[in-house]
Amino acid sequence: MKIKRTDTFKKDIKKLDSQSKKILGKVIKKILASPERFKPMKYHSNIFRIRFSKFRLVYKVDQDLITFMFVRKRPTAYRNV
């Protein structure tokens, strides 16, 4: 399985505190083990979301590719999907 990180995702990670980064690492391992296990977004069957701490991680699954799109707090997470 290939992994792609968007530029937005990379910028969002830099803004996280160290504790949230540790939790995010564990969440990503769970996603890699079973990408379609988490809740899909409405109207987007291949885009998934997972909640951790105060944040939402949104990612896209296309056959062999997982694209991590962004990490944001709940109020702003779903504005531009």
CATH for 32: 3.30.2310.20
CA 52 to chain centre: 10
**What pLDDT tens digit does each residue of the chain (81 aa) get?**
899 999 999 999 999 999 999 999 999 999 999 998 898 988 888 999 999 988 999 999 998 999 999 999 877 777 766
Task: Look up the domain containing 18 and give its range.
Answer: 2-74
Q: Say if 46 falls within a structural domain.
A: yes
Q: Report the pLDDT value the prediction gives residue 81, as an integer from 0 to 100.
A: 64
Q: Report the pLDDT value the prediction gives residue 74, as an integer from 0 to 100.
A: 79
Q: Say if 49 falls within a structural domain.
A: yes
What total number of domains does the chain contain? 1
Q: Which residues pair with 68 in a beta bridge?
A: 5, 59
Q: Say if 47 falls within a structural domain.
A: yes
Q: Say if 80 falls within a structural domain.
A: no
Residue 67, both tokens = 């694209």
b/e per residue 13-30 (b: at least 16 CB within 10 A): eeeeeeebeeebeebbee
Q: Report the pLDDT value the prediction gives residue 19, as an integer from 0 to 100.
A: 95
Q: Report the pLDDT value the prediction gives residue 45, as an integer from 0 to 100.
A: 87
